[in-house]
Amino acid sequence: MMGTCRKIPKTWSHWICALYSTSALCIFYFSIPTLKFFCSFLPMEKCSLKSSMMLNLDNRIDAKLDLLSRQDVQTCTSWKAPIIWQGMFDPNEYDQEHKSQGSSVALTVFAVGRYLDVYLKDFLYSSEQHFMLGLPVTYYVFTDTPEKVPNIKLNPQRSLKIIKVERHKRWQDISMMRMKSISQLIESDIRNHSTHVFCFDVDQLFTGRFGSEALGDSVALLHAHYYRLPRWLFTYDQNPKSNAYLEMGDFYYHAAVFGGSWRSVKALADACHRSIMEDKQNNVEALWHDESHLNKYFWLHKPSRILSPEYCWDANLGSRSDIRVRRLMWAPKYYNKLRIS
């Protein structure tokens, strides 16, 4: 490294050495917690659009997004999709627009095994305080023990349906096979009742507005642990034998939250399920299971809307100036006790 720096003009050497040093430190990002704070200062790319009128609009209200209000973060993508951050939008305008459009939302969540006991009640209760308030919402709880689903008092225009599913022997299979279940449910029920679908992991807690500004045709979420890291550190599946193989993508997306119109979510779920089953036939398992397949899908089919890490934050990352509101938080993880081997 030092030899490389000596070959570069002195005016640039200090900056390039600093960049190399930063990248090297980020290699240990996940093994040395104190470096997470250091890596949070890495700059994000900037939105190249001068006006939200230049976006490929999901909704007409998107034309009022203030892309320049957040100079500290990236507010749009190279394919002209918005990245939603606090301060870019007027929540009341979004709510009024979606009410006038007759938008309605299906929320799917899997609570299998002890995950139901530990997480589901708090997830549902917090959702009633913060998720898509003012819009019709139907909860679809997938579980192997329907009798244990808690009785939560729901707000007007909100309902809950329970779908019994098989409990697989391995948690990895539970994670991957949810795509098939989501697709089947959209075909049999959701498409007849809801305009949009959001799919969540159950080990999360709503702590702030998760509102209609998140609705779009195809919605992905920036992973809180990766959104400021260089792309070469993203943990895409690097096995060429897997359908999830991806050498380099746009962003690293978190499978804990994804959504969109029911048609788009069904297309995603069908594609991921096909890829997972083909891998199984070839005795291949993607690095991060359904999340690896989801990242490959969003590389091939760009999301029309991206949610910032405000929409799924990990408290272990600490406080950051760019995270002005925490809308959904990771709940404490007890993998050793809850996951099936």
What does the DSSP 8-state code read for residue 49? -
**What pLDDT is stored for residue 33 in this prediction?**
58
Please list, in sequence order, all residues whose beta carbon lies within 8 angstroms of the beta carbon of residue 169, skipping any fewer than 6 positions away: 340
| Tokens matching residue 333 | 């993880």
138 versus 167: the higher-pLDDT residue is: 138
Q: Are 215 and 105 in contact (CB under 8 A)?
A: yes
Give the mean model confidence (pLDDT) for residues 167-175. Answer: 58
Place of tokens 């999340």: 291
Give the mean model confidence (pLDDT) for residues 83-91. Answer: 98
Where along the chain do its domains lie? Answer: 45-339
Give the mean model confidence (pLDDT) for residues 181-202. Answer: 97
| Cα distance between residue 225 and residue 227, in whole Å | 6
What does the DSSP 8-state code read for residue 72? T
Place of tokens 């819009």: 135
3-class SS at 259? Answer: strand
Catalytic residue among 97, 213, 285, 291: 291
Architecture category of domain 45-339 in CATH: Alpha-Beta Complex (3.90)
Residue 337: pLDDT band (50, 70, 90) is low
**What pLDDT is stored for residue 22 in this prediction?**
43
Residue 108 CA, distance from chain mean position: 14
37 versus 215: the higher-pLDDT residue is: 215
**Which amino acid belongs to residue 338?**
L
Strand ranges inside 179-288, DSSP E: 196-200, 204-206, 218-221, 257-261
**What pLDDT is stored for residue 36 in this prediction?**
61
Please list, in sequence order, all residues whose beta carbon lies within 8 angstroms of the beta carbon of residue 47, skipping any fewer than 6 positions away: 67, 68, 74, 75, 76, 83
Give the mean model confidence (pLDDT) for residues 99-124. Answer: 96
**Which amino acid belongs to residue 299?**
W
Q: Is the pLDDT of residue 72 over 90?
A: yes
Residue 111 CA, distance from chain mean position: 18
Judge whether 97 counts as a catalytic residue: no
Q: Is the pLDDT of residue 341 over 60?
A: no
Lowest mean pLDDT among 147-151, 279-283, 335-339: 335-339
Binding residues for Mn(2+): 201, 203
Binding residues for UDP-N-acetyl-alpha-D-galactosamine: 110-112, 115, 201-203
N-terminal to C-terminal alpha carbon distance within the chain: 43
Residue 177: pLDDT band (50, 70, 90) is confident
Residue 273 CA, distance from chain mean position: 18
Q: Is the pLDDT of residue 171 over 70?
A: no
Mean pLDDT of the chain: 88
| Cα distance between residue 64 and residue 213, in whole Å | 11
Q: Is the pLDDT of residue 76 over 80?
A: yes
Binding residues: 110-112, 115, 201-203, 223, 235, 291, 314
**What pLDDT is stored for residue 43 in this prediction?**
83
Residue 148: pLDDT band (50, 70, 90) is very high
What does the DSSP 8-state code read for residue 228? T
Give the mean model confidence (pLDDT) for residues 59-66. Answer: 96
Residue 289, sorted as left (phi over 0), alpha (psi -120 to 50) or beta, turns out to be: left
Q: Are 121 and 202 in contact (CB under 8 A)?
A: no
Give the model confidence (pLDDT) of 251-261 as tens digits. Answer: 999 999 999 99
Give the mean model confidence (pLDDT) for residues 151-164. Answer: 96
Give the mean model confidence (pLDDT) for residues 311-323. Answer: 95
